[in-house]
Amino acid sequence: MSEQNGRSWWDDGARRVLSREACEEIAARVQRFASGGGSTGVTITSWWNGELRWGRNEVTLASDRRSVVVEIERTRLGGPQAAGTASCNQLDDESLRAAVRAAEWAAGLENPTRRPPLTPQQPDLALPETRIWSDTTHDVPATARGEVARAMIEPAAREGMLSAGYLEVRTQSVAQFGGRETYRSHPLTTQPLYAAATQAQCSLTVRNRAGNASGWAGASSYDWNALATGELAARALEKCRSSADPVAIEPGRYTVILEPQAVHDLIQPMFRPMEQREHNEAFPSYPFHLGMDEALGIGRTKLGRPIMDRRLSITHDPADPLQGVLPFNGRGDPYRPITLVENGVITALAFDRYYAAGRLNEQQPLPFAGAYRMTGGDTSVEEMIRSTRRGLLVTRLSNVRILDLSSMLCAGHTRDGLWLIENGRISRPVRNFRFVESSLVALNSIEQIGPAVPVFHPARDPAHAALHSAIVPALKVRDFSFTSSVDAI
């Protein structure tokens, strides 16, 4: 098949996403189809996804999917606000030409909500060196995924238990060429950008046939070999064995030892609003904002104020080998190292280019990819248990949702293993609880902190989400609020 119809990129199956050269050829064709002057921006995203799902010890889904999306932005000569976008998922000339015409038509529409243009930034952006690619992950065949799933199912099946899990490998490439003027609040970036990444993730749940015990384990990484699926299977099986026949105890406030996955589940919603932004009545209660300064006409933040235990620090570093992120965001802005919290004090909030230019007199934004590392201690979970007179050991939290944004009050429930600790020892499994607690209050009620480890942190939108990781410690927290028992196991 010819390159004209856009199929030759996938024919031999050797490469699962578009290469830089393939993206450059597609962008050049789009540029040729543009007419009427102005500028043309092209963003090309391609991805391949291989997944396997099983339940009750039987495989229920195996798939290989791939796709490509070409997004075109046309800015007409009529003015910097005359910008329009269109996209397509076909690479033949006819489809690309039609998408260019659609973007040019959209550029002629009146849109009073478009922001005014910004001064163009320097064209040569310094991109961080990131560790996000693994040939092993890219090349892993479907047969290998099946063998791994079988090896994870067999230990549970031998003991008469039921295993359910999900195994996924993913490859993604993103390329940007020119344009990006006013759409998405971004000035002209002329430097071609290209990045490719891989991701592997696995989660496993083991339950007994009586339905009163459950164990879970999960991991995600850019490197297939880092998943250690044998260890995951053993951990999930052991948690299932030890959580059988839980007893009911009264809800209330308990000292809790949150394993790293539970810590991540609790604090993850806190990172969504960690940004500086123009005052917006729709978001008056961001937890890191203090409202408007009427004299200066700007929104005040908690920058420079303590917000959590003084031992804790939170960093975002694209060069961290365990934090792997794409080197730039969807607007073409390069990621930079950020210390979000240092010794309990909030030291940075992300901001976009409009906030940088309008409020900070800067051209460079400070984007945050969502990957982070939380550090502050080296106490093992075993040591935490030995030092606890009475408390609970929590495997993970589920269905966590925000009840009050200003205080980060969250609700959810425990899952897949909850144990009562008495006099420095785990005494028995207990029924799961619903909790209502503020993540910020919990982070200010810490007694002990463990070493930071990577946890299960999959992409929310598998078609478009960038790779990112979470590296967090176990925490021993006092007075954690449980409001009622739940039937979930």
Average pLDDT over residues 403-415: 93
Identify the pLDDT of residue 326. Answer: 85
Average pLDDT over residues 236-261: 96
Identify the pLDDT of residue 4. Answer: 39
Give the pLDDT band of residue 460 (cuts 50, 70, 90). Answer: low
Q: Report which secondary-structure segment, H or E, holds 293.
A: strand 289-293
Average pLDDT over residues 188-196: 74
388: how many CB neighbours lie within 10 A of its CB?
A: 24
Give the pLDDT band of residue 394 (cuts 50, 70, 90). Answer: very high
Give the pLDDT band of residue 293 (cuts 50, 70, 90). Answer: low
Give the pLDDT band of residue 2 (cuts 50, 70, 90). Answer: very low
What are the pLDDT digits (tens) for 11-51?
444 578 999 999 999 999 999 998 877 788 899 999 999 99
Take residue 311 and report the two structure tokens written for it: 């031992």
pLDDT at 244 over 50: yes
What are the pLDDT digits (tens) for 61-119?
999 999 999 999 888 665 555 678 899 999 999 999 999 999 988 887 655 555 555 55
Lowest mean pLDDT among 38-52, 147-161, 188-202: 188-202
Identify the pLDDT of residue 375. Answer: 96
CATH classification for the domain delimited by 3-204, as one of 3.30.1330.80, 3.40.50.920, 3.30.2290.10, 2.40.50.140 = 3.30.2290.10
Give the pLDDT band of residue 384 (cuts 50, 70, 90). Answer: very high
Spatial CA neighbour of 44 closest among 103, 100, 107, 91: 91
* pLDDT averaged over every residue in the chain: 85
In the chain, what is the greatest distance between 2 CA atoms, to the nearest angstrom?
78
Take residue 20 and report the two structure tokens written for it: 């830089």
Identify the pLDDT of residue 183. Answer: 38
Pairing of strands 298-301, 162-177: unpaired
Identify the pLDDT of residue 467. Answer: 64
Give the pLDDT band of residue 181 (cuts 50, 70, 90). Answer: very low
Identify the pLDDT of residue 73. Answer: 87
pLDDT at 233 over 70: yes
Question: Per-residue DSSP letters for 160-178?
Answer: T-EEEEEEEEEEEEEEEES
pTM: 0.88
pLDDT at 259 over 60: yes
Q: Which residue has the higher pLDDT, 227 or 36?
A: 227
Average pLDDT over residues 408-434: 96
Identify the pLDDT of residue 119. Answer: 52
Question: Contact 111/71 with Cβ under 8 angstroms?
Answer: no
Identify the pLDDT of residue 369. Answer: 84
Identify the pLDDT of residue 15. Answer: 76
DSSP character at residue 281? T
What are the pLDDT digits (tens) for 336-367?
899 999 999 999 998 887 777 777 777 788 88
Identify the pLDDT of residue 36. Answer: 76
Identify the pLDDT of residue 194. Answer: 92
* Upper half-sphere CA count for residue 70 (Cβ side, 13 Å): 32
Identify the pLDDT of residue 453. Answer: 94
CA 433 to CA 426: how far, in whole Å? 17
Kindly report, as residue ranges, where domains of CATH 3.30.2290.10 are found in the chain.
3-204
- Rounded to 5 degrees, what angle do the CA atoms 302, 456, 148 make? 170
Three-class DSSP category at 142: helix
CA 229 to CA 78: how far, in whole Å? 57
Spatial CA neighbour of 330 closest among 113, 170, 175, 132: 175
Average pLDDT over residues 294-306: 78
Identify the pLDDT of residue 397. Answer: 96
Identify the pLDDT of residue 387. Answer: 97
Q: Which residue has the higher pLDDT, 321 or 386?
A: 386
DSSP character at residue 202? E
